[in-house]
Chain A
Amino acid sequence: MERSVLLKRILWTVILLSVLLAASILLGILMGSTGIGIKRALLSLTSSRENDPMLHTIIWQIRFPRVLLAALVGAALSMGGLVFQALLRNPLAEPYILGISSGSGIGAIIGILAGLSRFPGVSFTAFAGSIVTLLLLFLMSSGKAILKSNSLLLSGVMVNSFCAAFIMFLISITQDARLHNIIFWLMGDLSMINLGQVGILAAILTPCFFLLFCFSNQMNLLLVGKEMAQSMGVNIRIVVPMLLLITSLMVSATVSFCGPIGFVGLVMPHLLRLIFGPDHRVLAPACILGGGTYMVFCDLLARTVPDQGEMPAGVITAMIGAPLFIILLKRSGR
């Protein structure tokens, strides 16, 4: 009890979830759609490259970056959900549902069509898109109304449909090979990535994670209420815009790499809150590690469930997340 019970809790949570994440990453690189047995893959991990160069390439150049990307994306989206739920005091808030992901999607597609590189070009246009949507969302449900589930969700639905229409418009005026890219990207695709790009994404996300963790106690106070938070010393004029900015940056960075993947930010914070309680100082690291684990598993399912080929990971996350959203909405109405 000398330092703090909480510090112990944070450490144990981090250790437990790190083990889970490591296990899921291992499983993620051992299994795949090529029909190579786990045993053979495991052998190739321990032996040198010469024994099985083809498998070596599949594991280290295709699966490994993809699995790492999934972990990063899952972590970022879960954190995004966590922050929005605290800021809007609404358990249904999430970057995808709010339309922030679609907004950065528009930005990203414009970037792709303009022939920009994924980084920094497309990431920047995606960031611009997410900021514009965020502003739009706040203008539409200005002030207190956004705290109410209904108006918040309706605003999100409208932003989403507008963005969807705009994306369709952009697609319909595109006719060359970029079309296939855009459509796969839209479904939430993790497959087109190399290790260097994963490194760039990690370099953007890691400082964001750290900053959000530093703000985790402020998020606790904000969840209780803005006035109460202010009276306990939180400078909301600085903290709230900072949180929004960091989260938008994080979400748009992931969106620019792998498209708008939905509902991860809804599923993971909820599950982890059930296990670890509502304290953000524990939840923030839990979301980073647990969200990563979840996404790696979703991507693994996407790669192994179809008999032939694979499907985008966004399909799996939506199939799990959307029903959960409806259950939560029903429960919150009571």
Chain B
Amino acid sequence: MSKPSDLVQGTLDLLILKIVHLQPLHGWAISQRLKHISGDVLQVSDGSLYPALHKLEQQGWIQSEWKPTENNRRAKFYSLTRLGRRHLEREAANWDRISTAISGVMRLTEV
């Protein structure tokens, strides 16, 4: 499937924000980073990254800019906006809270 499920979609947004938070990157580089970080957990096609990127841009969380790259080429680089940074911080905190809670629950069942 090329269209990620809702859960994955939410996660995908968060991951993208986190990745471009470190440095501005173009689409292909982001997808490489995604594969690298998540391994085989995120089973999505490369292309499905783009609707997500454009959506984040429409929401004002990331912005894009065409920059020259190697071999006389150019690529569209995405970077985090101030708005996106705040959103990321909030979401990351949320994520921490929820994952702590969930792993707590998971431990409970193990005992």
Same complex: no
Residues of A within 8 A of B (CB): none
Q: Which residues of B contact A (CB under 8 A)?
A: none
